[in-house]
Amino acid sequence: MAVSDLHVAYPANRAIVEELRPESPDDWLLVAGDVGEFVADIEWALGLLAGRFATVVWTPGNHELWTPKDDPVRLRGEERYRHLVEICRRLGVLTPEDPYAVWTGHGGPVTIAPLFVLYDYTFRPPNTTKEESLAWAHRSGVVCTDEFMLHPDPYPSRDAWCRARLRETERRLAERDPAIPTVLVNHFPLVREPTDVLRHPQFAQWCGTVETADWHLRYNAAAVVYGHLHIPRTTRYDGVRFEEVSLGYPRERQMYGMDGAKAMRPVFPEEPAP
Ligand SMILES: [Fe+2]
Ligand SMILES: [Fe+2]
């Protein structure tokens, strides 16, 4: 099963998370980021899910990497990420820093690879610079909160952090058993196409990196799981299934008449998207 963007600071979302249960005691749950912003909230949600599912796999979203001004945990950037990884280890939750687990149930064997590759502003309009694209966003008032809350320390920028994560993740993926297909789990879409339907095209520059455009082929993905866009749907690129599994915000569900209780979706067996 997979889900993302639980955003548990919202009481309505917290209530949905409290009802997330496996259908079978053998079910694994892939959590593709944006559990919350406060360390205590993230720990609460992952701890609850780890107690219910046979295995929980987590990868960070941008919201986990914020340093909100009223969170007593003041860590920033890489240190904050490493702190969350330590919490996951205590809870028995797998992270991008752990050996990749192999799922041998329905659809297996597949190597479950949680990725943390962030974004580098390359999902911007063609023939523009990062500076021009950011200026366009600021002019139109559509600026991702990451610009103020997601500190890349010790890297000089979020795109520099992204480049470091790309190299590290490529190294890890190269070490896997190439005979076994993968399920790639990343908060951000690995290909750009899902951002074509964003209501505000300015937002795409905070949604991924062109460096991962062929990873679903290069790493023999049986499926790719992502979130961040809050547009749950199934699409295929080069014949590979991509599942956007966001719960998203209560106001979005209200606006689009979506049932939050159905946000968690099976990766295997494949099921028609709602
Ligand atoms: Fe989100
Ligand atoms: Fe996100």
CA 175 to ligand 1 center in whole angstroms:
30
Q: pLDDT for 26-52, tens place per residue? A: 999 999 999 999 999 999 999 999 999
Residue at token pair 């969350």: 84
CA 155 to ligand 2 center in whole angstroms:
20
CB 241 within 8 Å of CB 223: yes
CB 64 within 8 Å of CB 34: yes
Res 29: pLDDT: 98
Structure tokens at 161: 């952090």
Average pLDDT, rounded, for the chain: 97
Rounded Cα distance between 122 and 129, Å, is 9
Rounded Cα distance between 223 and 230, Å, is 18
CA 130 to ligand 1 center in whole angstroms:
23
With 0.95 as the threshold, say if the pTM is over it: yes
CA 151 to ligand 1 center in whole angstroms:
17
CA 104 to ligand 2 center in whole angstroms:
29
Res 92: pLDDT: 98
CA 58 to ligand 2 center in whole angstroms:
14
Question: Is the pLDDT score of 273 beyond 90?
Answer: no
Query: Which ligand minimizes its atom distance to the CA of 65?
Result: 2
Q: CA gyration radius for the chain?
A: 17
CA 7 to ligand 2 center in whole angstroms:
9
Q: pLDDT for 102-115, tens place per residue? A: 999 999 999 999 99
Question: Is the pLDDT score of 189 beyond 80?
Answer: yes
Res 14: pLDDT: 98
CA 62 to ligand 2 center in whole angstroms:
5
Q: pLDDT for 129-139, tens place per residue? A: 999 999 999 99
Query: In angstroms, how far is the first alpha carbon of the chain from the final one?
Result: 15
CA 56 to ligand 1 center in whole angstroms:
19
CB 133 within 8 Å of CB 151: no
CA distances (Å), origin 146, targets 14, 66, 68: 23, 7, 11
Q: pLDDT band at residue 274, thresholds of 50, 70 and 90?
A: low
Q: What percent of the chain is modeled with pLDDT above 90?
A: 99
* In the chain, where the domains are located: 2-262
Query: Which ligand minimizes its atom distance to the CA of 149?
Result: 2
CA 270 to ligand 1 center in whole angstroms:
23
CA 64 to ligand 1 center in whole angstroms:
10
Res 272: pLDDT: 74
φ, ψ of residue 89 to 5 degrees: the values are -65, -40
CA 179 to ligand 2 center in whole angstroms:
32
CA 228 to ligand 1 center in whole angstroms:
5
Looking at domain 2-262, what is its CATH homologous superfamily?
Metallo-dependent phosphatases (3.60.21.10)
CA 119 to ligand 1 center in whole angstroms:
14
Residue among 118, 210, 213 at smallest CA distance from 169: 118
Query: Which ligand minimizes its atom distance to the CA of 231?
Result: 1
